[in-house]
Structure 1
Amino acid sequence: MSRPRVAWYVHHHGRGHVGRLLAIAPHLDTDILCFSSLPRPDGLPENCEWVHLERDDAVEPGAPPAERDPSAGGLLHWAPLLHDGHRRRLTAIAATIDRRAVAAFVVDVSAEVTLFARLLGIPPVLITQPGQRDDDTHLLAFRAAAAIIAPWPEELLRPRHLGAFPQVAYVGGISRFDGRTAPSDHRSGVLVLSGAGGTTVTAEALDAAVAATHGQSWSSVGPLGGGVWSADPWEQLGRADVVVAWAGQNSVADLAAAGSRAVIIPQGRPFGEQDATADALEHAGLAVVERGWPTADRWHDVLGRARALRPEWSRWRTSGAAARAARAIEDVANTRWP
């Protein structure tokens, strides 16, 4: 008997969504049709096929997408009227899975694609994110989902709105580094790990922090401070005494896998996603949390508090999280619906 095939929608904002795919896919005993506006990533597992979609936010002749009633009067998050890219991306999804049947549709993340999959009669598996997601659009997508994957530990972060949905699987933080051996027993210096999702922190602010902490060695991975993006910053994480990072789900899971002492600075994201994660980390004593980039004169104290941490990162349940997510997806794909 051939193994099932699943579809997988990868949102194009930042690198976290494609990072989750790359972490989970090797654990899946399925073939995967990946749909995304992102270019095909390096290291795509052999069980994955990449289908490129047009963007649904590109400027076309006429009114900009944001002026084309994209929320349908508050019913949806993003479905701009008479936008060719939006229409073509949904048409491409429908045409592909009409030719090549799938048993489940993993959505990371989009309320509209979740609903579209369900309207096509395909059980959706929605990967959700933290934050206040109790608006009508999110709740409709949660109700339509056959399963909901929450990639963090329920014991430390349980959004009230998810309590109404018994199909939620809290799998723990999903990191591509799960199972790797720490690269160094000796750690020194400060690493700034800035993601691709955007930040209000400036290079000048980073320079001021470096200048104010005499004798401290600083390095950077990502766009901030002229750092070079690295698809695999495991060595840098393992060597740093303190890591300064935002509160994205993948970054936090990677910090947990590396056992890092961290300063977390949540960035503005829709629905307060990073603020909710930072609150959980602070309450659990897993990281020093600052609600904005500290002024230069405060960095000595901030780094001192981070170095004094003894974080029990096992509480973020990174070990085995990707495999648990894969099992939740396979449970839906292998379900015999009446």
Structure 2
Amino acid sequence: MIGKRPIGFFVHHQGRGHAKRCEAILSHLPDRPITILSADRSIFGQLDDRVTFTALPDMIGDPSRTEVLHDQETPHVMHCVPMGSHRLRRNAGLISKFLSEEDPTLFVVDVSAEWALLSRLHSVPAVSIRMHGERGDAGHLGAYEASAAMLAPFSETIEQEDYPERLRRRTFYTGGLCTNTEPVPSRLEARRKLGLPAEQHIVLTLSGGGGHGSLYAPLTMGARALSESLWLTIGPVHREGHETEFGNLVNKGWVEDPLSYIAAADVVLASAGDNTVHEIARAGRPFVCVPEWRYFAEQVCKAERLGAAGAAYVLPHWPASNAAWQDAVRAAEALDLSAQRELYDPEAPRKAAGFLTDLEQRLWLGEADAGTLPGGLQLVT
């Protein structure tokens, strides 16, 4: 019944985290057909021969064809469904074509409430990738309820307290899924590799591709407040044009080896992005977390759980004074880093792939009246 039928992956193209997570899971799936549907091929690396890539139109900002269509109210059970959008219609058509013609055994959705619902309408089991956030609305709950199961690529220790118990019982927690598998060097090894001073106190600011970059003006204040420290930034920074430069603040931009910079640092300043959090936890570094704005308060909710777990010193916004910067760095350095060990699991991609394989076997080869997977995870009934 399963044979050579594919597993499908819808991968959102905002940032790089969704794509990297998909690649990490694929590396542990058995040899079988895989179809990836996404609006940006460039966020993926080299894909092997078993993978078919279907390019979706980028529908973000696609205008409606009339003002009246533009003004149509969005139903509460959906999030992004503009009326009269050529690209949305094309997206839905391509995904429907895959679901109806290729007969996939699973459709892994990372992330879209609408496509999980569409998968259910095509009678294809969806697996919704879970993310933090204020997601108690009809759209998210409908997608979760329509899915055969949910996959959370993080530790259950940072699950939100308001996530419904009935859905928690149908969620598989992989443990912290980090897409980097390179060995973590020691602080001294990393500094030697990067040509950084062995003894100087180093503060690293890390930003990824999902936003506009770290705010540069607050970092100049940090560099002034801790003038004996070397402040490094990797990834993009956002300048407003009025910043005063300091000699101990050095911008590295995009780098090939962010892990070495994290390992070299005494303190890391970063947002609450999934892979960012797990990369820092893997290296075990004092962490000042300043969540960025994301839809449904995703990073704010994740940061709250990190703070509650004692894995990061969380601030609602960048420090704006010398004393606030000094307090933040000291508070991060006072954290018990053992709390971070609960956040990262080197086996998380393999566990995710194993879960998908077990779920596929259970759904298509198991008895119809048995509603659980090994370990007690409940299936939708």
Question: Which is worse superposed, 127-136 or 205-214?
Answer: 205-214
Aligned to 2:233: 220
Contact between 1:10 and 1:35, CA under 8 Å: does it hold in 2? yes
**Secondary structure of 1:81 counterpart:** coil
Matches within 5 A, 1:178-193: 178=181, 180-186=182-188, 188-193=201-206
2:332 counterpart (306, 310, 316): 306
Give the equivalent residue in structure 1 for 2:209. Answer: 196
Name the CA shift for 1:68/1:174 in 2 (closer, same or farther; >3 Å).
farther
CA contact (8 A) 1:77 1:137 kept: yes
Q: 1:15 to 1:66 in 2, by over 3 A?
A: farther
- Deviation per residue, 1:108-157 (Å, 9 max, x gap): 00000101111111100100111221111111101110110112222332
Preserved contact between residue 200 and residue 267 of structure 1 (Cα < 8 Å): no
Determine the structure 1 residue equivalent to 2:297. Answer: 272
Conservation of the 8 A alpha-carbon contact between 1:242 and 1:260: yes
Could you tell me which residue of structure 2 aligns to residue 23 of structure 1?
Answer: 24
1:287-326 aligned at under 5 Å gives the runs 287-297=312-322, 298-312=324-338, 313-326=340-353
Deviation at 1:2, TM superposition (A): 4.7
Which consecutive unaligned segments of at least 5 residues does structure 2 have? 192-200, 239-250, 369-381
Aligned partners of 1:10, 1:65: CA distance in 2, in Å? 31
- Structure-2 residue corresponding to 1:114: 116
Aligned match for 2:57, one of 45, 54, 59: 54
Structure 1 outlier segments of 4+, above 6 Å:
none
**Aligned residues between the structures:** 336
The question of whether the paired residues in 1 share the 8 Å contact of 2:9 and 2:36 is answered with yes
| Mapping of residues 1-338 of structure 1, within 5 Å | 2=3, 4-29=5-30, 30-46=32-48, 47-60=50-63, 62-63=65-66, 67-69=70-72, 71-72=74-75, 74-165=76-167, 166-178=169-181, 180-186=182-188, 188-198=201-211, 202-224=215-237, 227-230=252-255, 232-297=257-322, 298-312=324-338, 313-334=340-361, 335-336=363-364, 338=368
**Alpha-carbon distance in structure 2 between the residues aligned to 1:231 and 1:121:** 43
Looking at structure 2, the residues matched to 37 and 44 of structure 1 have their Cα atoms a distance apart, in angstroms, of 16
Tell me if the contact between 1:190 and 1:244 (Cα under 8 Å) persists in the aligned partners.
yes
Q: Aligned partners of 1:38, 1:292: CA distance in 2, in Å?
A: 31
The 8 Å contact of residues 7 and 106 in structure 1, kept in 2 or not, is answered as: yes
The answer to whether the 8 A contact 1:6-1:333 is kept is no
CA distance in 2, matches of 1:210, 1:308: 20
Equivalent-residue separation in structure 1 for 2:122 and 2:133 (angstroms): 28
Q: Which has more radius of gyration?
A: 2
Q: Structure 1 residues 305 and 92, CA, compared in 2 at 3 Å: closer, same or farther?
A: same
Q: 1:48: how far off?
A: 2.9
Deviation sequence 1:163-187 (CA, Å, 0-9, x none):
1222111222110125x42222336
Give, in angstroms, the shift of residue 23 of structure 1: 1.9
Q: TM-score, normalised by structure 2?
A: 0.81
The 1:265/1:64 distance shift into structure 2, 3 A limit, reads farther
Query: TM-score, length-normalised on structure 1?
Result: 0.90
The whole-number CA distance in structure 2 between the counterparts of 1:66 and 1:147 is 35
Shift of 1:11: 0.9
**Helix, strand or coil for the counterpart of 2:253?**
coil
- Residue type of the partner of 2:122? L
Offset, 1:63:
4.9
Q: Which runs of 5+ in 1 are unaligned?
A: none
- Listed one character per residue, the Cα deviations across residues 283-322 of structure 1 (whole Å, up to 9, x for unaligned) are 1211111111011412122212222333122211423111
| Residue 49 to residue 260, structure 1, CA distance change in 2 (3 Å) | farther
Residues 108 and 127 of structure 2 are in contact (CA less than 8 Å); yes or no, is this contact kept in structure 1? yes
Letter in 2 for 1:172: G
Q: Distance in 2 between matches of 1:221 and 1:21?
A: 24
> Measured at CA, do residues 274 and 210 of structure 1 come closer, stay the same or move farther in structure 2, by a change above 3 Å?
same
Q: For 1:231 and 1:259, how far apart are their aligned partners in 2?
A: 20
